[in-house]
Amino acid sequence: MKNHDKYHLIFAYESRIFVAMENANTNPKMEEWFDAKLQKNEMVEPKDWMPDNYRKHLIRQISQHAHSEIVGMLPEGNWITRAPSLRAKIVLLAKVQDEGGHGLYLYTAAETLGVSRDELLDALHTGKAKYSSIFNYPTLTWADIGAVGWLVDGAAIMNQVMLQRTSYGPYARAMVRICKEESFHQRQGYESICHLAFGTEEQKQMAQDALNRWWWPTLMMFGPTDANSPNSANAIKWKIKRESNDQLRQRFINQTIPQIEYLGLTVPDPDLKWNEEKNGYDFGTPNWDEFMAVISGNGPCNKERLKARVDAHKGGEWVRAAAKAHADKKREMEFAA
Amino acid sequence: MFDLLVPVQPEISNNQPEIIMNKQEALFNYTLRLADNSLILSQRLSEWTGHGPFLEEDLALTNIALDILGQSKSLLEYAAQVEGKGRTEDDLAFLRGEREFYNTLLVEQPNGDYAKTIARQCFMDAFDYYFYSELSNSKDATLAGIAAKSVKEITYHLRHTSSWMVRFGDGTEESHTRLQNAIDELWRYTGELFEMTEADEILLKEGIAVDLNAVKVKWEKHIAEVLETAKVQAPENKYMQRGSREGKHTEYLGYILAEMQYLPRAIPNAKW
Amino acid sequence: MSDSQGPIWEVFVQKKPGQPFVHCGSLHAFDKEMALQNARDLYTRRSEGTALWVVPSSAIVSSSPEDLGPFFEPANDKVYRHPTFYQIPEGVKHI
């Protein structure tokens, strides 16, 4: 854009700022400016004007993402005290802690959009906000920890790599940091599964069983098919999302099948076969009824996961109150001094 | 290692190997005791991961758990090496029974509420801080090295838990009461921290071990300061529980081990 | 924004001594000491830094997008502030 165009837009913006505040939702001029900004791949920053729907979409997506990280600590945390070696215990502890950190980066990114962490947590605790339904599945055996790291984190990384280029600055910056930290998660998962797949007969069975149970839920992590994804179109238009659910799912399958073959495990999909023409695998249809059931609260662990989060929050209430009371006292003393 | 607790069997050959053996056994027992403290405490702390009172503190406590788990791993590796019987650090962690653990009773106590977790941690951090500061001068280079690294981590832990003690003690009425209750409950497990065994005496003479009487003076001073700033008190009842030096524990340890060890015991000889 | 999680703080990390402090993210904490400790536990887990600043978010004043023109563009034509604006005869060194 030439300088005088920019001036024009900024003056246009200034003269309209009050109008924009009152009626941000329907401001064709500003939306035009905003769309142009996205067209040029410019990042949107917290103080920039943005369409209400963009803001709402982001708050929804970032907070869901944050909730997923926090709830995601639970199925893996479930095995920290039972990890079968000191190394495995250290790695798992560090990994679950990372997930917590990622949740935190994301909550603070969402907060730049004018929503408080209390509001975000409240939405989670009352069931208004969603989180990735994959975490409503139980981690039944130690092999599930490997499977979660390898498959679930592997699927998540595909999304997250894309989100490093998302149009909202604070979200993109959080994702850059997250991707850097996530890089060890998938590797440790695969390493753990390797120990099992090449271990004793019992271990190998454990690995296959975990793959059987996690394969389809992992594929469903990419969301409904593009044809059935109501929010995807806007997300792509606003460059919040840059690739569709189906594209990402296909890429995940293509890269994961050889990893399964290396382990000597069987993919639990009779319809899976290589398609030379599209240079990718054809695969069966996930059980979308199950997907809908889990999303609407009827997964195997929905109630437990939510309860664990609510309990932690309520249990921590007096701790936070004490910290606040003490901080207030100290501040008063500083003023008095 | 139980040889330390019963009269040493007379050897037929010259008595030189017997003394070396004794020192080695002492070092094994001593190192194991330190490793077990860290292992069991980190096991307890990691129960909080994902359930902390708020996100930032959840991560902070997990950091502490990670630090001391790392310390434990280094110590167990060294213990396995000192023992020289081909056992690995994992064998020592996962295949010893309840009576073969030497961690102090304090660390195996349940987390309770966050005040109890913090009080337990603060008592241990203060002990570890003064203990490892001394141990970093040990004539045993490996222990001195582990201690020097640990003391940096523990300095931070102590700062973290001491500030929480003060926040609770001088926060709300509820937090004050909770902290006071926690101290009343845990105090009886603090005396054992300073108990010197035969292993301590043998290694103290060698310049390897730390004089726990000296640590005790510093620990008492620091904790008294923290309690005073936090406006709470040590309980009237000064009776101290003991037993861990002989592998006699509270009932909690059995459950901790059952959970921690089940998998390597269920599938023996497996690699993880 | 202050809520039951405490106020928000901005964290700045210095990678190595002598380098500038760079903003790396935010967190919640109830007091200064907690903010500093939380920053350490959150943002330097992978040896990202050797020094930290924490600043209450509320203390930060920032320019607005509408300031873009009046604030920053006037600098664009002040080329005389840059050393390349000036011509030095060939052969003259150390200047």
Rounded-to-integer distance, Cα A77 and Cα A80, Å = 5
* Minimum distance, in Å, between the CA of residue A66 and any CA atom of chain C: 14
ipTM of the complex: 0.91
Rounded-to-integer distance, Cα A67 and Cα B80, Å = 42
Chain A residue with CA closest to C8: the answer is: A108
In chain B, domain spans: 23-266
Helix (H, G, I), strand (E, B) or coil at B97: coil
Name which of B38, B54, B259 to mutate to probe chain A: the one with the most chain A Cβ atoms within 10 A of its Cβ. B54
Contact pairs from chain B to chain C, CB under 8 Å: 28
Q: Is residue C95 pLDDT above 60, yes or no?
A: yes
Contact A45 C27 (CB under 8 A): no
Q: Is residue C87 pLDDT above 90, yes or no?
A: no
Higher pLDDT, C4 or A250: A250
List of chains touching B (3+ CB pairs within 8 A) = A, C
Task: Please state the rounded mean pLDDT for residues A37-60.
Answer: 93
Rounded-to-integer distance, Cα B212 and Cα B199, Å = 12
Cross-chain CB nearest to C38 (options B60, B156, B159): B60
* Minimum distance, in Å, between the CA of residue B99 and any CA atom of chain A: 20
Cross-chain CB nearest to B63 (options A82, A97, A142): A97
What is the per-residue pLDDT across B16-48, written as a single tens digit (0 to 9) for each? 444 444 899 999 999 999 999 999 999 999 999
* Minimum distance, in Å, between the CA of residue B161 and any CA atom of chain C: 11
Residue A47 region by backbone torsions, left for phi larger than 0, else alpha for psi between -120 and 50, else beta: alpha
List of chains touching C (3+ CB pairs within 8 A) = A, B
* Minimum distance, in Å, between the CA of residue C29 and any CA atom of chain B: 8
Nearest to residue C59, comparing CAs of C7, C23, C3?
C7
**What residues of chain A lie within 8 A of the CB of C30, using their CB?**
320, 323-324, 326-327
Higher pLDDT, B160 or A21: B160
**What residues of chain A lie within 8 A of the CB of B92, using their CB?**
none
Contact A143, A210 (CB under 8 A): yes
Rounded-to-integer distance, Cα B145 and Cα B154, Å = 14
Cα A256 to Cα A133, A178, A196, A261, A271: the distances in Å are: 21, 22, 17, 9, 16
Superfamily of domain B23-266 in CATH is Ferritin, core subunit, four-helix bundle (1.20.1260.10)
Rounded-to-integer distance, Cα A279 and Cα A277, Å = 5
Predicted local confidence at residue A26, as pLDDT? 63
Please give the structure tokens belonging to residue A133: 């339904």
Q: Is residue B175 pLDDT above 70, yes or no?
A: yes
Contact C38 B163 (CB under 8 A): no
* Minimum distance, in Å, between the CA of residue A198 and any CA atom of chain B: 9
Q: Is residue A23 pLDDT above 70, yes or no?
A: no
What angle is formed at CA B235 by the lines to CA B230 and CA B238, rounded to 5 degrees? 135
pTM as predicted: 0.89
**What residues of chain B lie within 8 A of the CB of A85, using their CB?**
90, 94, 264, 272
Chain C residue with CA closest to B53: the answer is: C5
What is the per-residue pLDDT across A101-128, written as a single tens digit (0 to 9) for each? 999 999 999 999 999 999 999 999 999 9
What is the per-residue pLDDT across B102-123, written as a single tens digit (0 to 9) for each? 999 999 999 999 999 999 999 9
Res. B62 pLDDT band, cuts 50 70 90: very high
Most confident of the ranges A46-50, B147-151, C71-75: B147-151
Q: Is residue B165 pLDDT above 90, yes or no?
A: yes
Task: Confirm or reject contact between C15 and chain B (CB < 8 A).
Answer: no
Rounded-to-integer distance, Cα C95 and Cα C83, Å = 10
Contact C31 A101 (CB under 8 A): no
Predicted local confidence at residue C1, as pLDDT? 42
Res. A25 pLDDT band, cuts 50 70 90: low
What is the per-residue pLDDT across C14-73, written as a single tens digit (0 to 9) for each? 999 999 999 999 999 999 999 999 999 999 988 889 999 999 999 999 888 777 777 888
Helical H segments across chain A, by residue range: 3-22, 28-39, 52-77, 86-111, 117-125, 142-147, 153-163, 169-197, 201-220, 232-237, 245-263, 288-293, 302-315, 317-336
Cross-chain CB nearest to A202 (options B260, B264, B267): B267
Cross-chain CB nearest to B51 (options A312, A320, A323): A312
Predicted local confidence at residue B147, as pLDDT? 98
CB-CB neighbours of A239 under 10 Å: 18
**What residues of chain A lie within 8 A of the CB of C5, using their CB?**
117-118, 121, 320
* Mean pLDDT over each residue of chain B, to the nearest integer: 93
Instruction: Look up residue A44 and give its DSSP letter.
Output: B
Res. A5 pLDDT band, cuts 50 70 90: very low
Chain B residue with CA closest to A200: the answer is: B270
* Minimum distance, in Å, between the CA of residue A73 and any CA atom of chain B: 6
Among A127-136, A157-166, A301-310, B202-211, the least confident range? A157-166
Helix (H, G, I), strand (E, B) or coil at A223: coil
Please give the structure tokens belonging to residue B69: 């788990």
What is the per-residue pLDDT across A126-177, written as a single tens digit (0 to 9) for each? 999 999 999 999 999 999 999 999 999 999 998 899 899 999 999 999 999 9
Contact B56 C33 (CB under 8 A): no
Chain A residue with CA closest to C65: the answer is: A48
* Minimum distance, in Å, between the CA of residue B198 and any CA atom of chain C: 40
Chain A residue with CA closest to B67: the answer is: A90
